[in-house]
Structure 1
Amino acid sequence: MYWNTEMGHWPVNVVIMAGGKGTRLKPLTDNTHKSLIPVGGKPIIRHLIDHLAGFGFKEIHISVGHLAEQMTSYLGDGRDLGISIRYIQERLPMGSIGAMTLKYRWPHEHFLVINGDVYSNFDTGNLCTEYFSQKADMAVLTVPSTVKVPYGVLEMTPNGRITSFTEKPGYEFMVNAGVYIFNKKVLNLLPKGIAYEGWQLVQAALHAGLHVAGVPQTTGYWIDIGSMETLRKAQEMSQIGIAQE
């Protein structure tokens, strides 16, 4: 038995990474923490915390840096939300996952790490179940994304003969959703005290020959609120009731 799926008994440390400056959302983020921007009348991070609490997670760590006092003032210690919140303070920018090295003692051997700008109702239980059942060292939540080519695409032989032609095709890929679960072997791959990104940690785990699993999100919604366009999309979804909590 690797886990206990009873509510409140997941053996993982939950960490929300919210130390970034949100530069792509300027000027909204000049004086407001990115994760505190409201969607559907509630800050982004509250959607995420409420979602996690619904799966039984009652202890959450949050990395803070830029405008940290806004986050700590708004959430406090989490008592009013029925949970416990602890903060990891970034004195310097640490990228999307580097702040994990700023804390030395963790109560559990496994880590669920989520970007603080993720607006999603992803199936946390399924992600954890797949990670443990596959005995993976790391699992990455994935979502489908279609890339549209605005031109006709040709396939050609080396001597210049056209073998196929597709007008403005769309290609679907599975992309990183910014949600990870991993063990201490992966954590130990993080370089200490420097900025580091989640995608770099995935690459490091693959390079080390560790078992990295991809877990597709098959239902629900997912938006990375990293731009004005995706913020508008999230706000539109909440207004028409598609993404009600």
Structure 2
Amino acid sequence: MRGRPATDPGSTQDARHDLRPDRRGGLARAQHGPVRRRGRAGPARSLAGDPRDDRGRPGRGPVARRAPGGLRWVIGRVEGIFTPTRVQFTPFTSRRSFTESLHSRAAGRAGCRAPEVPRSVGAAHHTETEQDMQAVILVGGKGTRLRPLTSERPKPIVPVADRPFLAHMLEWVARHGMTDVVLCCGFRSDAVVEVIGDGSQYGVHVTWVFEPEPRGTAGAVKMAEEHLQERFMLINGDVLTDMDLSAQIEAHERTGAVATLALVPVEDPSAYGLVRLEDDGRVRGFLEKPKAEDIDTDLISAGAYVLERSIMDMIPAGREVSIEREVWPHLVGEGLYGHVHRGAYWMDIGTPERYVQGVADVLSGAVRTATLDRLQDGPVMAGADVDPTAVVAPDALVEAGARVGAGARIGSGTVVGAGASVDAGASLDRAVLLPGARVGARAELSSCVIGADAAIGDAAHVKEHVIVGDGVQVPAATRLPEVEVAEDAPAAEAPAATRPIAAD
């Protein structure tokens, strides 16, 4: 039972870790290094890039819409609504005999290490404990709630401060001794492979597994079965966290569990599915959409599980399977334990509000990441051009190649990406500028995201978690979200910012 809705993986094809599907359906060698997307000359282009969606179908046309989660306005193309499919569970003919066999296999391994795996170069300085375990990370989601930020890039490689979101996860598991990583990919896996490569730059070695169609949390890991060790960590790749995985692994070994769920407390339990524990850590049950009078715990699943490989026998092959709905309920009382991570940072960054907050927390050190090490010598990186009269907060980041003009103010939680520019007198607070973005003189930005190569005109205001797509031009003196901005407006028409469009 997760504390958030599941994401929907997209379609890719099967390949091994050093190959990636090309756009013609074949296989090509993975190209390493960052993806650099440059704008095109001429009028402001579509926020979604290609007017066709990820399945090759024509887009629905330009709209400005009100998005879920309280976002005021998302400027971009609505490309469809994706609803997870619920699959009914087929019970086992002999559940008792099956769970007894799981216990007998797990008991012999309790307290033992998994087989040692080769360590990638550069991993040693990340290691906090010698667990010698494997991590399996599910990164198949489309990130639809972050569009248009994810219209041209899959969610795993959306930048969070100074590196792709998935890079933070890889460095996190490496710090806990897990340098053998299996990545189960779905939507736009070719772009993810291009950025992450073999994982060595993040201290891990990656094996790539691609879903031919959405398989759910359990179905995806079933596809990776041939690569799994006898014990491994399964992680949903959509949260920013610094949970102590080493402590969770030790708890799993100590109890002889079949599966140990990472649990975190939340302030408002009514908004989540809850996990009930016995005093000894065994999972007693799950409570979905609880009423106020039924709430007796504040614990939710944090999407990280220590598993015995034998649990794969519970997962049918060839179809979509949810581990939360179709596996955990059958293990209650049969070796399913929880480990509570109190005091750890944990956030799903799948909405614009939480994405902006997550970036700010990385920069401030509220969540432990390698980014903080880069900021030890200050927020302005070598090669950045910052006017002496500009002010840069200590918990901001100005990347190499960026330019900040006279009297500009770069406030807390702000990222000025490589090649981005901020003109004189502009003021930015908790604003994320992707590479190549431009902010005009006296513009005011707060709690927003400006896409790669986008341009914000002089004296424009962009606030309240607006996301401006890659390459979009926001005219001078525009106020967002008070005015909706259309995309792809013909040059003969009035400027896009003066053409209000009804929200969904």
Normalised TM-score (structure 2): 0.41
RMSD: 2.4
The equivalent of 1:196 in structure 2 is 321
Matches within 5 A, 1:1-245: 2-4=111-113, 10=131, 12-106=133-227, 108-147=229-268, 173-200=298-325, 201-206=327-332, 209-245=333-369
Change beyond 3 A, Cα 1:34–1:21: same
- Is 1:115–1:178's contact at 8 Å kept on the other side of the alignment? yes
Q: 1: CA distance between counterparts of 2:334 and 2:262?
A: 17
Looking at structure 2, the residues matched to 242 and 96 of structure 1 have their Cα atoms a distance apart, in angstroms, of 29
Q: Residue type of the partner of 2:208?
A: Y
Bigger mean CA offset, 140-149 vs 38-47: 140-149
**How far apart are the structure 2 equivalents of 1:92 and 1:40?**
31
Q: SS where residue 192 of structure 1 aligns?
A: coil
Secondary structure of the residue aligned to 1:14 is strand
| Superposed CA offset, 1:105-156 (max 9, x none) | 235211201111121111011010001101011100001112278xxxxxxx
Q: Which amino acid aligns with 2:236?
A: N
CA-CA distance at 1:35 after TM superposition: 1.3
Deviation of the 1:229 alpha carbon: 2.6
Deviation at 1:172, TM superposition (A): 5.6
Identity across matched positions, percent: 25
* CA positional deviation for 1:4: 4.1
The answer on whether the counterparts of 2:132 and 2:177 sit within 8 Å (CA) in structure 1 is no
Q: Rg: which structure is higher?
A: 2
Q: Which has the higher strand share?
A: 1
Distance across 2 between alignment mates of 1:84 and 1:9? 16
**Contact 2:134–2:179 (CA under 8 A) maintained in structure 1:** no
Deviates more, 1:102-111 or 1:125-134: 102-111
Q: Matched residue of 2:253: which SS?
A: helix
Q: Structure 1 CA distance, aligned partners of 2:225 and 2:362?
A: 38
Q: 1:20–1:96: 8 Å Cα contact kept in structure 2?
A: no
State the AA in 1 paired with 2:162.
G
Calculate the TM-score normalised by the size of structure 1. Answer: 0.82
Distance in 1, matches of 2:348 and 2:162, equals 18
Contiguous gaps of at least 5 residues in structure 1: 150-169
Aligned partner letter, 1:222: W
For CA contacts below 8 A with separation 6 or more, give which structure has more relative contact order. 1
Unaligned runs of 5+ in 2: 1-109, 117-126, 271-294, 370-504
Please report how far the alpha carbon of residue 68 of structure 1 lies from its aligned counterpart in structure 2 after TM superposition: 0.2
Moved more, 99-108 or 113-122: 99-108
Paired residues, number: 223
Partner of 2:136: helix, strand, or coil? strand
